[in-house]
């Protein structure tokens, strides 16, 4: 029951509350937004909205996978509290990303995705499903997700306007954190996911990023 209440609390906080970061936002104070043209500001806002959606999904994924790790599977009494702790710790660090991207959206005068509740629900379902297959698959899901997010963030470093150093600093730090999360999950015993599963994950991510760029 406690785990369910924590999951519900995480969902409400992610979707409806301005998050608070435990680390300072990695912006570049001397680079003001006044140098951005209107078109650059709109582009940066759209890209950071996509990144914010990614962090909404990250909260859902880690929360759901931690919930699954604390819950016994059918016909089994085994739970995996150590895995749950690892997932929850990664989720807390992802909260920094959620806060940074939301702060940057506000600075750019852009709004979060209107579909955030839908993104959260879909990601939570995927995380719960992955978690029910056991620690190896759950960690493998983390590895593949973080690898895809890292590649996605690298592409944003190429697409962000050259003058938007503040957004670039945030994305660069996020990229480093995601790579570390993937390495930690790999070292913890992740199972390599089959190529069809990885392909479906890439397809789902492509749909999300395309829609979130606009809505």
The one-digit pLDDT tens for each residue of the chain (215 residues) are 565 666 666 776 777 777 888 888 887 655 556 678 899 999 999 999 999 999 999 888 888 888 888 776 544 555 677 788 888 888 888 899 999 999 999 999 999 999 999 999 988 998 888 888 888 888 898 899 989 999 999 999 999 998 899 999 999 999 999 999 899 888 988 888 899 988 998 898 888 889 998 88
What pLDDT, on the 0 to 100 scale, is given for residue 78? 56
Distance (Å, whole) CA 102 – CA 94:
12
Residues 23, 96 contacting (CB under 8 angstroms): yes
Cα–Cα nearest to 70, from 9, 127, 146: 127
Distance (Å, whole) CA 161 – CA 127:
33
**What's the pTM?**
0.86
What pLDDT, on the 0 to 100 scale, is given for residue 128? 87
DSSP state letter for 35: G
Cβ contacts of 38-45, under 8 Å, gap ≥ 24 = 40/161, 40/163, 40/164, 41/108, 41/109, 41/110, 42/110, 43/159, 43/160, 43/161, 44/108, 44/110, 44/160, 44/161, 44/164, 44/167, 45/105, 45/108, 45/109, 45/110
Region for 191 from its dihedrals, namely left if φ exceeds 0, alpha if ψ lies in -120 to 50, beta otherwise: beta
Domains and CATH numbers, the chain: 2-16+39-212 (1.20.1260.10)
DSSP state letter for 90: H
């Amino acid at each position: 029951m406690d785990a369910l209440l924590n999951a519900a609390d995480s969902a409400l906080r992610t979707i409806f509350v301005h998050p608070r970061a435990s680390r300072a936002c990695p912006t570049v104070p001397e680079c003001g937004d006044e140098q951005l043209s209107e078109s650059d500001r709109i582009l940066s806002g759209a890209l950071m909205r996509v990144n914010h959606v990614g962090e909404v999904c990250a909260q859902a994924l880690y929360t759901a996978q931690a919930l699954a790790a604390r819950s016994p599977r059918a016909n089994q009494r085994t739970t995996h509290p150590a895995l749950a702790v690892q997932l929850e710790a990664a989720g807390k660090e992802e909260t920094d990303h959620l806060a940074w991207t939301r702060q940057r959206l506000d600075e750019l005068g852009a709004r979060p995705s209107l579909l955030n509740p839908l993104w959260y629900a879909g990601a939570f379902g995927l995380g719960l499903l992955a978690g029910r297959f056991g620690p190896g698959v759950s960690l493998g899901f983390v590895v593949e997700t973080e690898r895809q997010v890292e590649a996605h963030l690298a592409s944003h470093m190429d697409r962000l306007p050259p003058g938007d150093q503040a957004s670039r600093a945030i994305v660069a730090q996020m990229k480093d954190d995601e790579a570390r999360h993937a390495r930690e999950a790999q070292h913890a015993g992740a199972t390599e996911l089959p190529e069809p599963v990885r392909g479906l994950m890439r397809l789902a991510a492509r749909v999300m990023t395309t829609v979130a760029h606009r809505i």
